[in-house]
Amino acid sequence: SELVTHGPAETSDDPRRGRGFAEKVLVPLSARADGARAVLELATRNSGMRLACGMDHTVESSAPVELRCTAADDGARLEVLAHLEAGEPLRVSKFVAYHWAGKAPDGDLVARAVRTLDRAVRDGYHMVEFDHRRRVEDFWSHSDVQIEGALEIQQAVRFNLFHLMQATARGEGLGVPAKGVTGRGYEGHYFWDTEIYVVPFLIHTNPRWARQALAFRCAMLGAARDRAREVGHRGALYPWRTISGQEASAWYAAGTAQYHINADITYAMRHYRNVTGDLAFLIGDGAEVMVETARLWIELGFFSEHRGGRFCINSVTGPDEYTTVVNNNAYTNLMAKENLEGAVHVMEWLAGAEPDAYARLMAATAVTEDEVEGWRRAAELMYVPRHEELGIVLQDEDFLARKPWDFDATPVDTFPLLLHYHPLELYRHQVIKQTDVVLATYLVEHEFSKDETRRTFDYYDPLTTGDSTLSASIQSVIASSVGYPEKALEYFLDACAVDLIDAHHNTADGIHIASCGGTWLALVAGFGGLRDFDGDVRFHPRLPKEWDRLRFRVQVRGQVVEVDMTPAGTTYRLIEGHGLLIHHTDELVRLVPDTPVRRSAPSEPARADDDELPLAA
């Protein structure tokens, strides 16, 4: 039984993998072994973070047992030796304890690890397991999504949900790495994956964890302010890729230039506030983040004469990493608009409703009325490139000027293209790594007409390679909403199976956590049609015809709604809470406890055997 402190050294040209470390990343501080227990004390080489990791064992055997426990700089090991007759059992239970801190006096974390091990061994495996089970059951009671009529898909969905739990349950003031804690891909770094793909799931299933993930960004505001100064601006610029608040992107064009991260973070904060009703979060640090990020957009963009005075943002990269450093990326501009409007609302609301918090915010940020007026104007006049004839929103103002990519001449085994073509080659073409405008049609749906959303999807879908695992789930959500159920199911399956079939040949580097969150989105926002960014809860159920049932729960302002979709119709039940207004398609429905409301599916009569509930008028 071992505690291993170092993975194998590896080098690779694949940008999705960790670069590997020239030196061992953990510096050993102390190592002790005693009986069946070993405890290691370590520090991270660059940041000096401290950790202690210990293991202990109980051994049950009727035969005499010899234990050899050793601990050294590079790990610890226990050998259990016994002479057993055939059929004679020997049971080893292993307990592992782990404590960390940014700073800690020598020996402090070791003492904590020892106490945790003492308690675990005293309580025994069954107690530890019982406690664990209680917490995990709580997770499933809020988060499970049930599918009937497709057993393997049900299993795959739970695999994704399980990994969301693993990645988020013990955030402990840190972010959610792109690979959770399952692998070394992306070196444990945090991206927008958290705010756009994972936080929506947390908001609706475990808002406390959502708050934790967002609080981490608040704690990084100082570093984001420094970063803004470094690139010549006021306000705050969150790093595209980070672990400690500093920008860690390896490649400027497809990394650092993704300024939209600022708006993704504030979008998630507003979404959290609107759905949970947790005002305290915005009254506290959230408001400061809104203000400082809004400032950055004003610094970055300008009112362009060339565009009739519209607010333009140039030389940025949107979500699609195959098209970089462009002018007026529609996603960035639309999300910046949300960010600016959000900052204006927060200022107005605090001034009226929370004068003390307002005064604190003014003291911390020295915002002027002119500034706020500037945010309002920039939002109003935000330029969004559109193509009149095609009736679509352009990914960026020059997107159509790029040479079409020859998909017919691209061998299937050269996907993902990023491993086979130089980025500069990709950047010149109309070829998309991951949803960009299509993602905007979901997040800021109100900015698009229905027809425009469909035409936009029709245009970009064939150009989208899905070389990023962040793509399929959102393609599924929009395919559902524009009426392409087969496509929606196909993309959903791509998202939910990505790690189970190792579709991108890199699951060994870690699970794709954004795709796990996206899987939940495809189910709940796609097939369930949930939209509630502004706090109004709307469902538009569209059950795949291959399934017999899709059932899930969502939390809204402390209340829990169960949505139960069958081919015959959808039943809404208020599981927790006193009363909630929701929309079923275009109809306003009031949910109260103990009174399920059922609506039949559009063109199909309700099946008599489906459910005993009366059909509502």
Active site (catalytic) residues: 321
Phi/psi of residue 159, each to 5°? -60, -45
The answer to whether the beta carbons of residues 90 and 61 sit under 8 Å apart is yes
**Cα angle value 389/391/396 (rounded, 5°):** 95
The nearest distance, CB 156 to ligand IFM, in angstroms, is 20
Per-residue CA distances from 189 to 18, 210, 268 (Å): 10, 18, 19
CA–CA dist 496, 515 (Å, integer): 7
The nearest distance, CB 496 to ligand IFM, in angstroms, is 17
Binding of ligand IFM by 275 (CB under 6 A): no
Which range touches ligand IFM (CB under 6 A), out of 189-197, 347-355, 520-528, 579-587?
189-197
The nearest distance, CB 316 to ligand IFM, in angstroms, is 14
Q: Which of 95, 139, 186, 201 binds ligand IFM (CB under 6 A)?
A: 186
The nearest distance, CB 163 to ligand IFM, in angstroms, is 14
The nearest distance, CB 167 to ligand IFM, in angstroms, is 12
For ligand IFM, the closer of residues 95 and 491 by Cβ is 491
Nearest to 262 by CA among 301, 207, 212: 301
Per-residue tokens: 521:
């989105």
Per-residue tokens: 477:
């959500």
Helix runs in 3-124, H state only: 108-123
Per-residue tokens: 509:
């580097």
The answer to whether the beta carbons of residues 80 and 72 sit under 8 Å apart is no
The nearest distance, CB 2 to ligand IFM, in angstroms, is 30
Q: Which residue is nearest to ligand IFM (CB)?
A: 191
The nearest distance, CB 446 to ligand IFM, in angstroms, is 24
For ligand IFM, the closer of residues 178 and 580 by Cβ is 178
What SS3 string covers 108-135?
Answer: HHHHHHHHHHHHHHHHCHHHHHHHHHHH
For ligand IFM, the closer of residues 514 and 550 by Cβ is 514
Rounded-to-10 torsion of CA 461, 466, 469, 475: 10
For ligand IFM, the closer of residues 435 and 570 by Cβ is 435
Strand order in the sheet with 2-4: 2-4, 75-82, 65-72
Q: Which residues contact 122 (CB under 8 A, 6 or more apart)?
A: none
Which range touches ligand IFM (CB under 6 A), out of 41-49, 191-199, 345-353, 386-394?
191-199
Per-residue CA distances from 500 to 56, 150, 160 (Å): 33, 16, 9
Which range touches ligand IFM (CB under 6 A), out of 100-108, 184-192, 389-397, 580-588?
184-192
Helix runs in 277-354, H state only: 279-281, 287-300, 330-353
Cis? peptide before 567, omega within 30° of 0: no
For ligand IFM, the closer of residues 192 and 238 by Cβ is 192
Q: Which residues contact 15 (CB under 8 A, 6 or more apart)?
A: 250, 251, 418
Helix axes 151-168, 125-143, angle to 10 degrees: 110
Per-residue tokens: 510:
């870690």
Q: Which of 193, 264, 288, 564 binds ligand IFM (CB under 6 A)?
A: 193
Instruction: Count the residues of the shown chain that bind ligand IFM, applying the rule CB under 6 A.
Output: 10
Residues 450-469 interacting with ligand IFM (rule: CB under 6 A): 468
The nearest distance, CB 472 to ligand IFM, in angstroms, is 13
Binding of ligand IFM by 321 (CB under 6 A): yes
Per-residue CA distances from 569 to 256, 563, 566, 607 (Å): 47, 10, 5, 9
For ligand IFM, the closer of residues 317 and 555 by Cβ is 317
The nearest distance, CB 241 to ligand IFM, in angstroms, is 8
For ligand IFM, the closer of residues 101 and 508 by Cβ is 508
For ligand IFM, the closer of residues 512 and 540 by Cβ is 512
Helix (H) or strand (E) holding 164: helix 151-168
Q: Which residues contact 409 (CB under 8 A, 6 or more apart)?
A: none
CA–CA dist 267, 338 (Å, integer): 7
Per-residue tokens: 440:
């905007």
Which range touches ligand IFM (CB under 6 A), out of 114-122, 153-161, 187-195, 593-601?
187-195
Q: Which of 95, 192, 272, 383 binds ligand IFM (CB under 6 A)?
A: 192
Spell out, one character per residue from 159 to 178, where the chain touches ligand IFM: x when CB under 6 A holds, - when not: -------------------x
Binding of ligand IFM by 150 (CB under 6 A): no
Tell me the torsion sign for CA atoms 453, 454, 460, 461: positive
For ligand IFM, the closer of residues 258 and 559 by Cβ is 258
Binding of ligand IFM by 395 (CB under 6 A): no
The nearest distance, CB 423 to ligand IFM, in angstroms, is 13
Spell out, one character per residue from 96 to 135, where the chain touches ligand IFM: x when CB under 6 A holds, - when not: ----------------------------------------
Q: Which of 95, 191, 272, 322 binds ligand IFM (CB under 6 A)?
A: 191
Residues 497-516 interacting with ligand IFM (rule: CB under 6 A): 514
Contacts with ligand IFM, residue ranges (CB under 6 A): 178, 186, 191-193, 319, 321, 468, 470, 514
